[in-house]
Amino acid sequence: MKIRLSRENVRGEFVKKVEMISGEDLLKCYQCGKCSAGCPAAFEMDILPSHVIRLAQMGQEEELSKVNSYWICLSCQTCTVRCPRGVDIAKIMEALRLVTLRQKNQNKVEATALPTELLAELPQIAIVSNLRKMSG
């Protein structure tokens, strides 16, 4: 992966937006990797949570739009409670989902596309929580 760093990216709109939505200071992260070590869903992610934060620090919107990591995130808050720098990583993952859902208007899961048998099998709590995270 080739990354182009520039002042425009690092100080750009994307970083501001992620920080505004999450309420977190991205530069607080010093890349220790503790979030990635404890993430129960890391096995299915294109890049690890700590790498997601690194790309966000560098304002790499384009690169981040290609990875599945924040769509695989379970919002389980394990990273959040373990971060030695007090970064609420789960909030940053939510901000990255919302950047896509709000701006690009692309739902990850379409409620109308879910099969009837699946809807009958699932408890409401599963359907509502999924659509809250995966659609705008």
Partner 1 sequence: MKIPYYPGCTLKTKAKDLEDSAIAAAKVLDIEMEELPRWNCCGTVYSLASDDLIHQVGSIRNLVRVKEQGANQVVTLCSMCYNTLKRANEFFLADEEKQDRINRYMDEEIDYTGDVAVVHLLEILRDEVGMEKIKAAVKKPLTGLKVSPYYGCMLLRPASIGIDNTERPTVMEDLLRALGAEVIDDPYKTECCGAYQTVNRKDVVVTCVHSILTSAQRNGAEVIALSCPLCDFNLDNRQKDILQTYKGFHPIPVLYFTQLMAIAFGLDESVCRFELSYNDPRPLLKSKGLIE
Q: Which residues bind partner 1 (CB under 8 A)?
A: 20-23, 40-41, 43-44, 72, 74-78, 80-81, 88, 90-91, 93-95, 98, 108-109, 114, 118, 121-134
Let me know: does 17 contact 99? Beta carbons within 8 Å: yes
What 3-state DSSP class applies to 58? coil
Strand ranges in the chain using DSSP code E only, listed in sequence order = none
**Residue 47 beta carbon to partner 1: minimum distance, rounded to whole angstroms:** 16
Q: Burial letters for 98-119: b for 16+ Cβ neighbours within 10 Å, e otherwise?
A: bbbbeeeeeebeeeeeeeeeee
- Least Cβ distance, residue 61 to partner 1 (angstroms): 18
- Residue 88 near residue 80 (C-beta atoms within 8 A): yes
Q: Which of 85/91 has CB closer to partner 1?
A: 91
* CB-nearer residue toward partner 1: 3 or 27: 27
Which residue lies nearer to partner 1 by CB, 3 or 76? Answer: 76
Whether 61 contacts 79, CB under 8 Å: no
Shortest separation between residue 30's beta carbon and partner 1, angstroms: 20
- The minimum distance between CB 4 and partner 1, in angstroms, equals 29
